[in-house]
Amino acid sequence: MPILRDISIINKGLRYKLAIAFSLMTVIPLLSCLFIIYPSIFPTVSYVVDTNLILSISVFIAVLGLTVAKGITDSVVSLAMEARKIASGEYERKIAVSTDDELGNLGQSINIMSNKIKSSLDELKGYGQSMKDINVEIHKKVLALSSLLQIGDIITAGSVQIDALTALAVEKASGLFDTGYGVLYLPRMEGGDFIVKTCYNIEKERFDSLVLKRGGDGVLERLLGSRNILKLDGGTRITKELDEFRRSCNVKNMLAIPLYSEKAVLGLFIIGTRLSDLQYSQDDMDLIAVFARHITIAIESDVLNRKNDELVTRDDLTGLFNKRFILMRLEEEIKRSIFYQRPCSLVILNVDDFRKFRETRGELAAEEALKRIAKVIKESAGPIGKAARLGGDEFGVLLPEKNKRETSSVAEDLRKKIESTNVLKDGKAALTVSVGVSENPIDGATAEELFGRAEDAVKEAKASGKNRVAA
């Protein structure tokens, strides 16, 4: 009712309530004074009745004053406790506001402030997550740049074999992602099918069984021909074929990039993770594409280096190593033999009367004879021996781990094989060789000394009648 609402003190101000409480508490001393002086003022009135009335009024006023004071105190205490909890970090808490007085306004203000603090904290948390994501991206790109610089330096220096270099590149690229893995397909042989050459952080057996044929119709085989990037992640529409491939290789997501140079396909580079809900960004694809390009450069560089080495170290006519290479290897083998206290020997063979053979049979027959003799020498050199054409009609064989006695035996067998070989494709003809043998360190401590001693032994063999071995 309006009249009750008007006389109620619930929605009145705090100052108003305090004034009422103070007024009510002030009445009690006045009533006490009235109780004392009442008999003097009204001597004829019944004292007992009046005393009970005064006591009743005093008690009522005291209780009413205490109730008003307690209401104010409880509200202040409750507000203080809630404010303390909010200040300690419980910003989800709300102060219950049931009045329109100063305490109610204060509670509403605290609620507004806590909401703003909570909103600001949520915003800061969002900024923190954004900064974390940015830091992760920065770290990823710095790591990628560092890895690419390292790989580039190795490619430039040419100090690491291609297998080790590609394995390093696959490992570094895989490390850009959590639980990352990498696979590299390269040709089994020039122009052949593609097989797994490098696997990192994934079961190699699952990919080993997947051989990529040139012109094939599989998911990855078509990719080789198209030169497109295959992205398989949470945003890819999974076809039946892709699902079968994913199940057979046990992959959740991946990027597959063909490696190619001009018109030739060099291989296939695969990077993925074990995360189910990952989606690759354009930056991720660009980074992996840069790694793929570095691997391509490494493969191209290796091919060029091998061709260059073959041109520099091989004899054009016979396919054997040349004198420069055999001298270089001889120096290395001498150092190794000294370090490990193991023998190392050199054999030099000179074809007997080869000038006369060339004059009577012709240049083409002479070249054919040198090729056939070179083939016999190469087959007799063994898996660790190095056969070379030293120039003209002279050949050499480097034999690590063999002393002079063992080398002389090998040289004698070689001499007999050449003597029994028909050196012409059309017709019959036989040639012999004079052979010299030297051993480190008995006959010299350098490549030049061993070479000179073996040549002297060849001269001794020719002077003794040719077609023999001298040591």
Note whether 326 and 305 are same-domain residues. no
Residue finishing a domain among 107, 127, 147:
127
Give dist(CA 366, CA 401) in Å, integer. Answer: 34
Task: Give domain status of residue 138, yes or no.
Answer: no
Q: By CB neighbour count within 10 A (0-12 exposed, 13-18 middle, 19+ buried), where does 446 fall?
A: middle
Q: For the domain that residue 375 is a member of, what is the CATH number?
A: 3.30.70.270
Band of residue 123 on the pLDDT scale cut at 50, 70, 90: confident
Same domain, yes or no, for 95 and 9? yes
**Which tokens in the block code for residue 224?**
């080789």
Q: Which one of 311, 335, 369 terminates a domain?
A: 311
Residue 106 near residue 14 (C-beta atoms within 8 A): no
Q: Which residue type is seen at 77? A: V
Shared-domain flag, residues 179 and 115: no
Residue 205 burial (CB count, 10 A): 9
Contacts 24+ apart (CB under 8 A), 439-443: 439/343, 439/344, 439/345, 439/346, 439/403, 439/404, 439/407, 440/333, 440/334, 440/337, 440/338, 440/343, 440/344, 440/345, 441/337, 441/338, 442/404, 443/404
**pTM, two decimal places:** 0.50
pLDDT digits (tens, 9 = 90+) for 61-94: 666 666 766 666 666 666 677 777 777 777 677 7
Residue 137 lies in a domain: no
Share of the chain above pLDDT 70, in %: 80
282-313 vs 323-340: helix crossing angle, rounded to 10: 100
Q: How many domains does the chain have?
A: 3
Q: Compute the average pLDDT of residues 137-163.
A: 79
433-440 and 344-351 strand pairing? antiparallel
CA gap 105, 450 in Å, rounded:
106
Residues 395 and 255 in one domain: no
Structure tokens that stand for 104 in this block: 């109610």
Q: Which domain holds residue 44?
A: 1-127
Q: What is the pLDDT of residues 155-193, one digit of tens each?
A: 777 667 888 889 999 999 999 888 899 999 999 877 789
Q: Of 257, 285, 311, at which residue does a domain stop? A: 311
pLDDT tens-digit series, residues 13-63? 555 556 566 565 666 666 566 556 656 665 555 555 556 666 676 667 666
